[in-house]
């Protein structure tokens, strides 16, 4: 399915300060973590569109790529995304192109340590390879 390019206005454009693979891997370890079931559900992803990089909450990408999208993104979803972007910025991994896109928030986000990742199953709610066709 071809993506609705007009919808990218809500995605947060970032400039990479480290390798894209490092940022992508880090994002797989930030999200909802079930310690009992040993599963992590990543919240945000990064995508390159026409040479620019964007970070998005998986629910935002559904609104762009699916005509049958049910708008259930909440204010707390956006706060969580902004908190994750703030972490990546603080860790020196990215710069945010338009700081007004991410209001400062102090929402708690769960980060699975890299050394524990092998003990968890990553359960993606969105698959960039199959759910998008942008470019």
Domain ranges of the chain: 10-131
Go through the chain and tell me how many residues it has: 135
Order across the sheet with 52-57: list the strands.
44-49, 52-57, 12-16, 94-96
CATH superfamily of 10-131: Translation repressor RegA (3.30.70.650)
pLDDT number for residue 121:
95
Over range 1-24, report the average pLDDT: 77
- DSSP 8-state assignment for residue 40: E
> DSSP of 67-127, one letter per residue?
TT------HHHHHHHHHHHHHHHHTTSEEES-GGGS-------EE--GGGGGGSEE--S--
Q: Tell me what percent of the residues of the chain surpass a pLDDT of 70.
A: 77
Q: Report CA torsion sign: 63, 66, 72, 78.
A: negative
* For residue 56, pLDDT beyond 70: yes
What pTM, to 2 d.p., does this model score? 0.82
* For residue 33, pLDDT beyond 60: yes
Cα radius of gyration (the chain): 14
């Amino acid at each position: 399915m071809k993506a609705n390019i007009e919808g990218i206005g809500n995605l947060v454009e970032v400039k990479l300060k480290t390798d894209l693979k490092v940022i992508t891997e880090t994002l797989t370890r930030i999200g909802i973590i079930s310690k009992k079931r040993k599963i992590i559900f990543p919240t945000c992803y990064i995508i390159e569109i026409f040479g620019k990089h964007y970070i998005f909450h998986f629910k935002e990408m559904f609104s762009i790529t699916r005509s049958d999208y049910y708008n259930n993104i909440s204010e707390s979803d956006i706060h969580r995304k902004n908190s994750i972007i703030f972490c990546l910025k603080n860790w020196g991994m990215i710069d945010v192109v338009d700081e007004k896109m991410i209001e400062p928030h102090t929402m708690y986000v769960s980060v699975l340590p890299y050394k524990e990742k092998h003990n968890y199953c990553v359960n993606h709610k969105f698959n960039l390879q199959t759910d998008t066709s942008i470019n």
